[in-house]
Structure 1
Amino acid sequence: MEKEVNPHFEDFLFDWDQKFQFLVGGYGSSKSYHIALKLILKLLDEKRTALVIREVYDTHRDSTFSLFEEIVNDLGLDHVILCRTSPLMLKFHNGSRIIFKGLDKPAKLKSINNISIIWIEECSEVKYEGFKELLGRLRHPTLQLHMILSTNPVGQDNWTYRHFFKDDQNNRFILDDERLYKERTIAINDTYYHHSTAEDNLFLPVSYIKQLDELKEYDPDLYRIARKGHFGINGIRVLPQFEVQPHEDVMLAISNINRPLLRAGMDFGFVDSYNALIRLAVDHEKKYLYIYWEYYDRGKTDDVTVEDLKEFIETKELIKADNEQKTIAYFRKMGYNMVAAHKFQGSRLQYTKKIKRFKKIICSDSCKNTIYELQPLTYKTDKRGNIIEDEFQIDPHTFSAIWYALDDYEVTDLKEQPKERTRPNRDRRSMRRL
């Protein structure tokens, strides 16, 4: 049997050395096609049961299942591989099977046994809890286990990036994605990485690649994903002036500010949201905002949080907090200098605009959660793609804490700067006499 394949995927087709195989790339790179071909070749050679997963089961028929059907017919294997449509399944003459399931119907996963290979297509659409659940379904008494994950790159806040590359929030580093873009294939520990773009698919028409190139002119985010196959920040950043510097450099810069404005702000949380307390400093002359200390935790009752933050009782620092009077009253009773920030109709938008007026927002590299929330923070958009100026893709608790800390501080907007005053009339008269 002979089959023409794209050279960039040739080694991948027969490489089963690692447990995990993570394929990421741009549109039309042929990664899904070669994964399907790889599975067919493996299951023809060994009796196995493979599970193909998408977030929604109904999307299989016109995507993954259709791809397997195409390959079976193209290779003339329909006499040894039966493609069943109800339920979706491939049955091999040697007893191998490929089963299709969706995570929108998780109960149906429980009845499947002896799964030795799982392919998660468009894995970035699957929730992290679903990925962990599937790891538990990957088991066989004798066969080597494998999980293949494929996706177009999305935002760096997606679990696929945090799990397989970098997770700054938990100080976890596996691989710099920029290295993958250069080397194209890398094996690290028990994971094989593969990067591809449209150029790797020699069967693509030139017109399709040209269409992808045109994205650069009107949709740079989609161009990065579809054409370059790179992870990044999707959407319009709320704080493009946000940058991270070493903690020592940040503290030195603060010490050199002429009469710095030092503030602390707190956003309350418990189960689903976080208690976030931020210390910051303002260089009013330069219009720089420095963030140099954070507290970020959840699931703790107020008495435990009070104990965590008791240094604020000793320093008597003023904390401006979210307007939860009962919580503030308890903190004050325990000796905290805490007051409620002024919240009003439209305050989210006004607070956001205020923070955006800083020329620079410089964050200490010790504030991991602040970096995690604010560096990639983007606006939500409406159905027409227009940004919603007071809504974001995540709930940034550290941003709220900064809002409250600067409750009564105003950053001068350049558009509001008074014009340079002209000389008084008497000066002009004296000039004429000269």
Structure 2
Amino acid sequence: MKNIEFILNDHFAEFVEDWDHKIYLLVGGYGSSKSYHVAVKLIRKLLQEKRKALVVREVYDTIRDSCYDLLEEVAEAMGVDGYLTFTTSPMQVRFKNGSKIIFKGMDKPAKLKSMNGVSIVWIEECSEVKYAGFKEILGRLRHPVLSNHIILSTNPVSKSNWCYRYFFQDKKAKLFILDDEKLYKERCVVVGKTYYHHSTVDDNYFVPQDYIEQLDDLKIHDPDLYRVARKGRFGVNGRLVFPQFVVEADEQVRAEMKNVRRPLEKNGMDFGFVTSYNAVVRMLIDHDNKILYLYDEYYSKDKTDPEIAEDIKKWKDILIKADCAEPKAIRYYKQKGFRIRACKKFKGSRKIYTKKVKRFRKIVCSDKCENIIDELQDLTFAVDKNGEIIEDEFNIDPHTLSAIWYGLDDYEVSDLKGGNIRNL
């Protein structure tokens, strides 16, 4: 079959026809019809050319009621179901011209080893797939003759998700690919070999009006979900740990600190090495106004204690509270002349220390502390299977917060003694 006439939503017409790019990223709100048009694109291509396609979700058991059923629905709507055979054991779609669609779940990664002959991969709800799984697919997709393509579709989630960090920007890695605001404005953007597509329910001519009204109601009842479901935008996904966190210019922060009547300096250090980061955070407390200033930081990975000691030697004369779980490291820094002490840790201290930080009326961070901003500005609480907040777990592992915990471990709001700030 060479020509297939089928009614499409206008905003997706170009996407369905385009095969000039290796990666296609579709980001959109609920009911925007992005998955529907991926199914159209895939079926059209496999009817026109003999190819083998792979459809992936994080959990294999969710595929039958999502991608598989959708492909069957689209084939029938297109009037081409007579050219396709759908089987459930194994779950496959076979075309009369020899094309085939197979289905895999990332919860069984061993099965991805056999990607022989695959030239197109559709990763549905890619934000749920782990980055390691995406890399595995990216590394294995290499058909020797046909063009290779990866299609990713997702609702936008937190900016801490790997999808945002990989395709837009990762502040920690100092990587910038595309401003997501540019995508929301222009709707379709091409950067290198990646085709970006943004959509909302307004792009779907066939959705009922009452469904749109339900999404509009979220603006009042659930602003976070409204941003994702109605507007199709990345951002904070969940309850913020520190809603009072603000970023100010470094000059302004230092000017404010000089006007604090009873300043108390605190410094904390979290140890890491291969998979985690080393972090030192310098702080000043304004007790009268209940303000915590975060004005300097150190952040590194894959460094030895001698290397770190050299990096932070300018802070040898300040008192640093460090993770008590690393007594050997603390002893080393003491031998090198640092004023360093072990913090206090106890069962439940993560929860108690987090609440302590939350009690500040305002947390002011210097704009030069990029890693603190990256970890704390959009930090959200983790939730359990019932959707309830877990008060000592978060959406990421915030090493700068650990350093803040340790630095404030002897801080008591009810009995705060004045101190002098130095080395600003």
TM-score (norm 2): 0.90
Q: Deviations over 1:335-388 (max 9, x none)?
A: 221112233444333322322232332223332221221111112234443333
The answer to whether the aligner puts 1:274 opposite 2:265 as a matched pair is: no
- Between the aligned residues of both structures, percent identity stands at 61
The answer to whether the aligner puts 1:264 opposite 2:267 as a matched pair is: yes
Does structure 2 retain, via aligned residues, the 8 Å contact 1:247–1:365? yes
Does structure 2 retain, via aligned residues, the 8 Å contact 1:357–1:411? no
Q: Which residue of 1 aligns with 2:344?
A: 342
CA–CA distance in structure 2, aligned partners of residues 373 and 105 of structure 1:
31
1:401 is matched with which residue: 400, 403, 410? 403
Q: Structure 2 counterpart of 1:71, which letter?
A: V
1:111 is matched with which residue: 111, 114, 121? 114
Distance 1:162 1:92, change over 3 A: same
Give secondary structure in 1 for the equivalent of 2:224: helix
Q: Deviations over 1:87-121 (max 9, x none)?
A: 22222222222221111222222222232211110
Aligned-residue offset at 1:406: 2.2
CA–CA distance in structure 1, aligned partners of residues 312 and 85 of structure 2:
65
Aligned-residue offset at 1:401: 0.8
Q: Which residue of 2 aligns with 1:66?
A: 69
The answer to whether the aligner puts 1:54 opposite 2:47 as a matched pair is: no
Q: Structure 2 counterpart of 1:374, which letter?
A: L
Aligned-residue offset at 1:264: 1.4
2:333 is matched with which residue: 323, 331, 351? 331
The answer to whether the aligner puts 1:355 opposite 2:357 as a matched pair is: yes
Q: Structure 2 counterpart of 1:168, which letter?
A: K
Indicate the structure (1 or 2) with the bigger Cα radius of gyration. 1
2:137 is matched with which residue: 134, 138, 142? 134
Q: Number of paired residues?
A: 411
Aligned-residue offset at 1:35: 0.4
CA–CA distance in structure 1, aligned partners of residues 46 and 347 of structure 2:
62
Aligned-residue offset at 1:293: 2.2
Aligned-residue offset at 1:21: 0.9
2:175 is matched with which residue: 172, 175, 194? 172
| Superposition pairs of residues 187-202 of structure 1, within 5 angstroms | 187-202=190-205
Give secondary structure in 1 for the equivalent of 2:64: coil
Distance 1:382 1:102, change over 3 A: closer
Q: Which residue of 1 aligns with 2:380?
A: 378
Q: Deviations over 1:26-74 (max 9, x none)?
A: 1111110100101111122222222111112222111111111112222
Does structure 2 retain, via aligned residues, the 8 Å contact 1:321–1:338? yes
Q: Deviations over 1:188-219 (max 9, x none)?
A: 22211111111211111222222222223322
CA–CA distance in structure 1, aligned partners of residues 395 and 151 of structure 2:
28
Give secondary structure in 2 for the equivalent of 1:11: helix
CA–CA distance in structure 2, aligned partners of residues 326 and 228 of structure 1:
51
CA–CA distance in structure 2, aligned partners of residues 412 and 358 of structure 1:
13
CA–CA distance in structure 1, aligned partners of residues 386 and 227 of structure 2:
21
CA–CA distance in structure 1, aligned partners of residues 107 and 402 of structure 2:
34
Q: Which residue of 2 aligns with 1:389?
A: 391
**Which of 223-232 and 356-365 deviates more?**
356-365
Distance 1:155 1:260, change over 3 A: same
The answer to whether the aligner puts 1:26 opposite 2:29 as a matched pair is: yes
**Which of 286-295 and 173-182 deviates more?**
286-295
Show structure 2 runs of 5+ residues with no match.
416-424
Does structure 2 retain, via aligned residues, the 8 Å contact 1:275–1:397? yes
Q: Which residue of 2 aligns with 1:87?
A: 90
**Which of 163-172 and 294-303 deviates more?**
294-303
Give secondary structure in 2 for the equivalent of 1:160: helix
Distance 1:284 1:297, change over 3 A: same
Does structure 1 retain, via aligned residues, the 8 Å contact 2:245–2:364? yes
CA–CA distance in structure 1, aligned partners of residues 200 and 305 of structure 2:
51
Q: Which residue of 1 aligns with 2:291?
A: 288
CA–CA distance in structure 1, aligned partners of residues 84 and 223 of structure 2:
43
CA–CA distance in structure 1, aligned partners of residues 373 and 333 of structure 2:
27
Q: Structure 2 counterpart of 1:8, which letter?
A: H
Does structure 1 retain, via aligned residues, the 8 Å contact 2:123–2:153? yes
CA–CA distance in structure 2, aligned partners of residues 350 and 246 of structure 1:
30
RMSD: 2.2
CA–CA distance in structure 2, aligned partners of residues 35 and 412 of structure 1:
59
Q: Structure 1 counterpart of 2:42, which letter?
A: L
Q: Structure 2 counterpart of 1:403, which letter?
A: W
Q: Which residue of 2 aligns with 1:424?
A: none
Distance 1:174 1:249, change over 3 A: farther
CA–CA distance in structure 2, aligned partners of residues 200 and 75 of structure 1:
20
CA–CA distance in structure 2, aligned partners of residues 48 and 152 of structure 1:
28
| Superposition pairs of residues 413-428 of structure 1, within 5 angstroms | none
Q: Which residue of 1 aligns with 2:321?
A: 320
Give secondary structure in 1 for the equivalent of 2:81: coil
TM-score (norm 1): 0.88
CA–CA distance in structure 2, aligned partners of residues 119 and 384 of structure 1:
30
CA–CA distance in structure 2, aligned partners of residues 247 and 95 of structure 1:
63
CA–CA distance in structure 2, aligned partners of residues 192 and 412 of structure 1:
56
Does structure 2 retain, via aligned residues, the 8 Å contact 1:264–1:318? yes
Does structure 2 retain, via aligned residues, the 8 Å contact 1:357–1:412? no
CA–CA distance in structure 1, aligned partners of residues 229 and 179 of structure 2:
20
**Which of 260-269 and 26-35 deviates more?**
260-269
Show structure 1 runs of 5+ residues with no match.
414-434
Does structure 2 retain, via aligned residues, the 8 Å contact 1:26–1:153? yes
